[in-house]
Amino acid sequence: MKLAAYIRSTFGGRKLATIGLIWLCLVALAAIFAPLLAPFDPYEIDPVARLSEPGLPYLFGTDHFGRDTFSRAIYGARMTVVIGAGSVIVALLTGGLIGMLSAYFPRLGAVLMRGIDVLMAFPALLLALVLITLLERSVVNTVLVIGIVYATTTARILFGMTLKLKGEVFVDAAICSGAGHGSILFRHILPNLISPLLVQASFIFAFAQLQAAALDFLGLGLPAEVASWGNMLSEERIYVTRAPWLLIYPGVLIILSVFSMNLVGDAMRDAIDPRFKDDIAGV
Amino acid sequence: MALLDVEDLQIAVAKGRVLLPVVQGVSFSVDADETLGIVGESGCGKSLTSLAIMGLLDGTAVRITGGTIRFDGMDLGALSPKERRAIMGNRMAMIFQEPMTSLNPVYRVGDQIVENLRQHRDLSKRAARDRAVELLDLVRIPDPGQRIDSFPHQMSGGQRQRVMIAMALSCDPKLLIADEPTTALDVTVQKEVLDLMADLQKRMGTAIVLISHDLGVIAETCDKVSVMYRGRVAEAAPTAELFARLAHPYTRGLLNSIPVVDHDVEWLEAIPGRVPTIDEQLTGCAFHPRCPLATDLCSQTAPDPLQIAPAHRVECHFAEKVVT
Amino acid sequence: MSDPLLQVRDLCTHFTTRQPGLRAVKKVIRAVDGISFDINPGEVLSLVGESGCGKSTVGRTLTRLEKSTSGSVLFEGREILDLSPGAFRPLRRDIQMIFQDPFASLNPRLTIAQTLGEPLFIHGLATSWAEANVKIAETLELVGMDPKIMTRHPHEFSGGQRQRIGIARVMILKPKLVIADEAVSALDVSIQAQVLNLIKRLQRDSGVAMLFISHDLGVVRHISDRVAVMLAGKIVEVGTKMQIFEDPAHAYTRKLLSAIPRVAQRAGAA
């Protein structure tokens, strides 16, 4: 199977990256099977046991409302996946498309890329803040905002790569065969962008977590009651001295996930098929 | 004693954990004031051989696995890196195929020559610069006093190659290795550069090893020729002798493949098949899959070098047949 | 005597570059500066010259990879320079190009079948993959390749083989005019001979007209019926093969011919 072969060739011999991949699979599984894995409802309150230490039955202890931290952590995995995947989709679809089309149609590109330049003038977090204040707090809006933030770098990268691919001889050959713009973009240019796109996706996934966590921490990201690791940090930060475990568990989970995603991204980037390495632009 | 004496040189390329032999026992020698031509197509190992002599192989991915290279009596393999560096650019110099990439594009042409000079000679900046102007004049760059301050991109391909020659000759080397020096140049410019090299050789007595895939260039400029195929010397002889009495089927095939300017040929006698890649290991003679004279013997046993005339060596079981 | 297939009159392709800097000086590069020639059906005309003479630009202008600046090009009596891209597309079937670099002219992501099938589908010569595969197999055999290779990718093949595939891509449409832009220049001598023989045979058998662009006079002699010599964007001499090689009129042509290094003797037949 092609996927198995891809995984073997990309991760074979790279212990850290493989561990990262396994961790991410665990996160994904936790996200999918959250209702089965979580011992408690993440919103259920047990006021008597509030701020209790990790132990039984509350494995990671409870927060200031008495909610089970372990269950919230598991449900938090859902948000991790949603935010990560969602941001990637938004970034690649908007940024990727803008970058590709700007390079292919230079006159359109002159306008679009200037717009991208303006957005890139803002530091990522600042841009996210500006955008999110214009919208109400929700999961969808958070994903949208983070996606737009990373659409800018994606656009830049794909602009450069498409520009190079446009000048390749096989594109000239396709033009001579009579291929139209659509054909050239989607048959000739896009397939050669897939590998670098995947690498870019992995890094966006990682950075999106950090952005989301930062937004949550500032109280601007996901709605307060949603169980996400960033929200958990944000809400419990005043209890750092009384119940440090409330910060340690979500913090560690964020670190592990971001680190894993970066390792996976590195492995994928290094594994871009060397026989294609010369053929793929810019990598 | 020859100035350069290569004996049974073997070079291998590391692919993963395996060492693949690319040059499998190449021997030749060059005397002062003599030009040796090494001719072959891609995959024959001629460029690697030249890099090995110059000491430019990186030692890990590509390395010498056997044989000796003796220059001016010294075994180059036995020298320390420091001793090696003292020779490179000084008593032995090299010019490459692509003058644009072998000249540093961000430095002026004069500065690059001066750098080489001051590396090996104890010269003041002024003296080195004067010598650089002299050298540019020697290689027939017009207006050398001005052009010395040009950048590579401001010069034509032919001029850049001349600058390379000037750099190579700056310290009066005894040996010049030229790897496809004119392949990237137009034919009229090629003629000028080759004439220049011949003239300089007459004046300075430099030995030249000229590597090319172009038999015409080799025929017109070299005193003797080694024809390489797949890491071995298929045939070696003085130039006139080689073209008068070809003894290897590959040399014959190569010659017949060239479309000639002076008369018409209906169909070229192309050599069928293609050069095997380095992964493909063969038994027997490397050329046998493509050879019109091949027999079972050829596929089993590699031919030993055969001396069919003074200074004319061939590696073919049927050399006698080819000549007649 | 039939009408010429291609009539080029005073073709110019100029490139303007803006020099960076405050003065923003415009520099005009006259790559092709007023050339005229005809190609008759079934004929091979070579365009020969050194680097920078504009010969490649001529080929690229005729296939509209570069925009012409002025002049007229009649293909089968019809002006093609001012056609819209849509109106020109059907003509792309009749005017095809073989590219120089066998390692760059095939999309590494597509199989050979996909690369060869694309032009068939674009021009309506096949409506299903079953039909296309038949034509692909035929054409691969025509260029001396095993039809089974059509499921493989370009990187599995050598330079000479890839060039044959490039020729197959051109021939599969049965064009009327093939522009070969330094089609054998990037190949080793022994492979060059094979591919040159192939091109010559295909041209003879199919009767396709050819504009053969090359810097190598030996190759040009081998393949041409007529030869045009280019220098600095202009044609300085044009004539039959015999005229150009045996009795060159222009000084530049003579200079080119005398500069070529020659092997003193040719080996006798084996």
User: Where in chain B are the domains?
Assistant: 4-91+171-323
Q: What is the Cα–Cα distance from A171 to A85, expressed in whole angstroms? A: 32
B97 HSE (CA, 13 A, CB side): 11
Residues C200-204, mean pLDDT to the nearest whole number: 95
The fold of C1-94+176-259 is Rossmann fold (3.40.50)
- C90 Cβ contact list (under 8 Å, min separation 6): A178, C123
Contacts 24+ apart (CB under 8 A), B295-303: none
Burial C14-37 (b: 16+ CB within 10 A, else e): beeeeeeeeeeeeeeeebbbebeb
Name the residue among B194, B215, B270 with its Cβ closest to that of C197: B270
Map out the domains of chain A with their CATH numbers: 18-32+60-277 (1.10.3720.10)
Cα angle A161-A173-C4, degrees, rounded to a multiple of 5 = 150
Q: How much is the pLDDT for C152?
A: 93
ipTM: 0.87
Cα angle C106-C109-C115, degrees, rounded to a multiple of 5 = 50
Q: What is the Cα–Cα distance from A87 to A210, expressed in whole angstroms? A: 12
Residues A69-84, mean pLDDT to the nearest whole number: 89
Per residue in A7-63, pLDDT (tens digit) is: 877 787 788 888 999 999 999 998 999 888 888 888 888 888 888 888 877 888 888
Q: Between chains, do A187 and C118 touch, taking CB under 8 Å as contact?
A: yes
Residues 177-196 (A) with a CB less than 8 A from some CB of C = 177-180, 183, 187-188, 191-192
Q: Using CA coordinates, name the residue in chain C closest to B260.
A: C218
Q: What is the Cα–Cα distance from B135 to B116, expressed in whole angstroms? A: 12
Which DSSP category does C57 fall into?
A: H
Q: What is the Cα–Cα distance from C62 to C66, expressed in whole angstroms? A: 8
Q: What is the Cα–Cα distance from A79 to A43, expressed in whole angstroms? A: 15
Q: What is the Cα–Cα distance from B239 to B236, expressed in whole angstroms? A: 9
The predicted model scores a pTM of: 0.85
Residue B324 touches chain C, beta carbons under 8 Å: no
> What are the φ and ψ backbone dihedral angles of C211, each rounded to 5 degrees?
-105, 105
A183 interaction partners in chain C (CB closer than 8 Å) = 118, 122
Name the residue among B188, B256, B292 with its Cβ closest to that of C255: B188
Q: What is the Cα–Cα distance from B93 to B215, expressed in whole angstroms? A: 23
B120 HSE (CA, 13 A, CB side): 22
Is the domain B4-91+171-323 a CATH 3.40.50.300 member? yes
3-class secondary structure, B2:
coil
Residues 89-118 (C) with a CB less than 8 A from some CB of B = none
Cα angle B239-B241-B246, degrees, rounded to a multiple of 5 = 100
Residues C22-50, mean pLDDT to the nearest whole number: 89
Which of B273, B276, B265, B275 has its CA nearest to residue B292? B273
Which DSSP category does B208 fall into?
A: E
| In chain C, ranges of CATH 3.40.50.300 domains | 1-94+176-259
Residues 157-176 (A) with a CB less than 8 A from some CB of C = 168-170, 172-176
Q: What is the Cα–Cα distance from B315 to B306, expressed in whole angstroms? A: 6
3-class secondary structure, B27:
strand
CA distance A175 to chain C (A): 8
Per residue in A107-139, pLDDT (tens digit) is: 899 899 999 998 888 888 888 888 888 888 888
Angle between helix A97-104 and helix A139-166 axes, rounded to 10 deg: 30
Per residue in B85-127, pLDDT (tens digit) is: 888 888 999 998 887 788 888 899 999 999 888 888 888 999 9
